[in-house]
């Protein structure tokens, strides 16, 4: 039997009743929380004891929407040209490269305390292999997109049925190969967006999802380009389009919804669909919260640090509120009523995120009977302590290095700040070498891109 006692910490359960235990303990048997409270029952001396004095014990983060684009950091952010840099560079990454990059991705998620992540990526296999070894909880989706991206660069949508067919097959293969492979990995059907996948593909995905009891996820109302094209093709907004296809329901999650109209928001609320919110501050977030639309937080593309994402949300919402003089539901003139509150954002990153993904009964809060997906945060850092409220300190000043223990399903994946299932140095240096090779290949074929990048980094001098 695998037993862990985490004792004498400040426990933020993130449960519905917002239970906080100022100094408490938590006892885990075979991956399940069997007791939690000021004093816990431990039948005999447990195998592992973690002293959580001066630590916050809380549920691991649930990262509801992410992609594996972090390898090209240092290029993407400097160039900022999606069609001329990001997209073609992605094309230089071969599926087999992922066998060399997966460990580094797992390291990033675990280091940052993401005990569950939904990861959508075209070539997911190499990452899945790394996850199996690393041991975190993931929901994998191989995305289905079927337009000619070279033509899209010029603003032309040309649908390629063969590309769609191959992507659908990859998605089915991902399900067959990985779904419930080790109890921690599940899969999802992921048509990319209403402008990038045709109605038949959405329907095929729905049929496959229904047959195999899978959930679906998609990007929804993310860009003005998408809105314009869906309007042109179908005379509808993207949520209306998906409603008419009968896929807008509580089995679907939609990422972003930045440009959802008021009517769209109403539709979404009625449908039960959950929203995967990332860093946009021009979406009607407060309206979603007030309508009880299920919401989770996702890191999206290059940087999978949930604490940083929460901070970006706070500063973005505040800036926006100030700019508009305190918009409806976000009275920035008054700090007490400014929204979303830090606690609300933490809820999105934990329990509510789990609910959005349909796994709220299993993870997302620390309660008896739930799976032991837990992080501890070391508060003995000069920028976190002293504090009257540890959660406020973590949200505003914490970072992944403060997370010293990460437990998933009762297994310790990070202990005293070190990853236990991944050789961090090897994983990162292997990924560095591989990405350098990929980027060099891209620059060889695109000398003007190399030149612009060198100018940005001053390498040309
Ligand atoms: Zn996305």
pLDDT in tens, 242-263: 999 999 999 999 999 999 999 9
Q: How many CA atoms within 13 Å lie on the side-chain side of 189?
A: 24
pLDDT for the residue 80: 74
* Distance in angstroms (rounded) separating the CA atoms of residues 364 and 373: 8
> Is the pLDDT assigned to residue 366 strictly greater than 90?
yes
Say how many Å lie between the CA of residue 259 and the centre of ligand 1: 15
Say how many Å lie between the CA of residue 309 and the centre of ligand 1: 14
Least confident of 85-99, 141-155, 162-176, 436-450: 85-99
Q: What is the pLDDT of the chain when averaged over all its residues?
A: 93
Q: Residue 342: which residues within 8 A CB-CB, separation 6 or more? A: 310, 314, 391, 392, 395, 396
* Distance in angstroms (rounded) separating the CA atoms of residues 328 and 321: 9
> Is the pLDDT assigned to residue 332 strictly greater than 80?
no
> Is the pLDDT assigned to residue 318 strictly greater than 80?
no
Say how many Å lie between the CA of residue 387 and the centre of ligand 1: 36
> Is the pLDDT assigned to residue 404 strictly greater than 90?
yes
Say how many Å lie between the CA of residue 389 and the centre of ligand 1: 33
Say how many Å lie between the CA of residue 67 and the centre of ligand 1: 6
> Is the pLDDT assigned to residue 142 strictly greater than 70?
yes
Say how many Å lie between the CA of residue 363 and the centre of ligand 1: 23
pLDDT for the residue 336: 52
Tokens, residue 327: 């918009």
Say how many Å lie between the CA of residue 255 and the centre of ligand 1: 6
> Is the pLDDT assigned to residue 326 strictly greater than 80?
no
pLDDT for the residue 240: 98
Say how many Å lie between the CA of residue 407 and the centre of ligand 1: 27
Say how many Å lie between the CA of residue 257 and the centre of ligand 1: 11
Domain residue limits, the chain: 3-59+372-419, 61-356
Say how many Å lie between the CA of residue 300 and the centre of ligand 1: 5
What does the pLDDT average to over 221-227?
A: 94
Least confident of 17-31, 73-87, 397-411: 73-87
Say how many Å lie between the CA of residue 203 and the centre of ligand 1: 21
What does the pLDDT average to over 99-128?
A: 95
Least confident of 57-61, 326-330, 420-424: 326-330
Say how many Å lie between the CA of residue 419 and the centre of ligand 1: 27
Angle at 436 between CA 430 and CA 442, to 5 degrees: 140
What does the pLDDT average to over 367-381?
A: 98
> What confidence tier does 334 reach under pLDDT thresholds 50, 70, 90?
low
> What confidence tier does 328 reach under pLDDT thresholds 50, 70, 90?
low
CA distance to 89, 225, 226, 435, 446, per residue, from 274 (Å): 32, 23, 20, 34, 41
pLDDT for the residue 131: 97
What does the pLDDT average to over 190-215?
A: 98
**Domain 61-356 falls under CATH 1.10.1060.10:** no
Say how many Å lie between the CA of residue 29 and the centre of ligand 1: 36
pLDDT for the residue 327: 55
Say how many Å lie between the CA of residue 45 and the centre of ligand 1: 46
Structural class in CATH, domain 3-59+372-419 = mainly beta
Helix (H/G/I), strand (E/B), else coil: 371 = strand
pTM given for the model: 0.95
pLDDT for the residue 225: 92
């Amino acid at each position: 039997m695998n037993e862990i006692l985490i004792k004498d910490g400040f426990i933020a359960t993130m449960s519905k009743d917002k239970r906080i235990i100022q100094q408490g303990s938590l006892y885990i048997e075979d991956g399940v929380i069997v007791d939690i409270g000021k004093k816990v029952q431990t039948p005999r001396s447990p195998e592992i004891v973690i002293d959580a004095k001066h630590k916050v014990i809380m549920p691991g983060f649930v990262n509801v929407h992410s992609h594996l684009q972090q390898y090209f950091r240092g290029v993407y952010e400097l160039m900022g040209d999606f069609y001329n840099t990001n997209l073609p560079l992605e094309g230089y990454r071969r599926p087999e490269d992922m066998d060399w990059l997966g460990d580094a991705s797992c390291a990033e998620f675990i280091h940052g305390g993401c005990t569950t992540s939904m990861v959508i990526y075209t070539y997911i296999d190499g990452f899945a292999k790394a996850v199996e070894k690393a041991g975190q909880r993931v929901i994998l989706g191989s995305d289905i997109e079927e337009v000619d991206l070279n033509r899209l660069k010029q603003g032309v949508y040309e649908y390629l049925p063969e590309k769609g067919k191959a992507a659908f097959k990859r998605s089915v293969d991902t399900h067959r190969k990985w779904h419930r492979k080790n109890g921690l990995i599940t899969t999802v059907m992921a048509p990319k967006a209403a402008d990038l996948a045709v109605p038949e593909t959405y329907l095929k995905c729905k049929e496959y999802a229904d047959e195999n009891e899978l959930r679906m996820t998609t990007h929804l109302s993310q860009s003005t380009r998408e809105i314009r094209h869906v309007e042109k093709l179908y005379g509808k907004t993207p949520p209306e389009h998906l409603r008419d296809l009968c896929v807008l329901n509580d089995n679907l999650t939609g990422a972003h919804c930045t440009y959802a109209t008021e009517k769209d928001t109403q539709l979404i609320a009625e449908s039960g669909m959950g929203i995967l919110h990332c860093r946009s501050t021009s979406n009607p977030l407060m309206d979603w919260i007030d309508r009880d639309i299920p919401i989770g937080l996702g890191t999206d593309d290059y940087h999978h640090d949930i604490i940083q994402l929460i901070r970006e949300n706070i500063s973005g919402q505040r800036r926006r509120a100030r700019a508009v003089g305190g918009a409806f539901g976000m009275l920035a003139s008054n700090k007490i009523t400014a929204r979303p509150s830090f606690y609300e954002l933490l809820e999105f990153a934990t329990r509510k995120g789990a609910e959005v993904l349909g796994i709220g009964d299993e993870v997302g809060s620390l309660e008896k009977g739930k799976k032991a997906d837990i992080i501890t945060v070391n508060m003995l850092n000069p920028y976190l302590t002293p504090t009257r409220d540890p959660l406020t300190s973590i949200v505003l000043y914490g970072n992944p290095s403060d997370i010293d223990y990460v437990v998933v399903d009762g297994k310790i994946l990070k202990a005293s700040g070190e990853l236990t299932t991944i050789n961090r140095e090897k994983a990162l240096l292997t990924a560095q070498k591989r990405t350098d090779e990929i980027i060099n290949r891209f620059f060889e074929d695109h000398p003007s891109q190399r030149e612009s990048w060198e100018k940005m980094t001053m390498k040309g001098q």
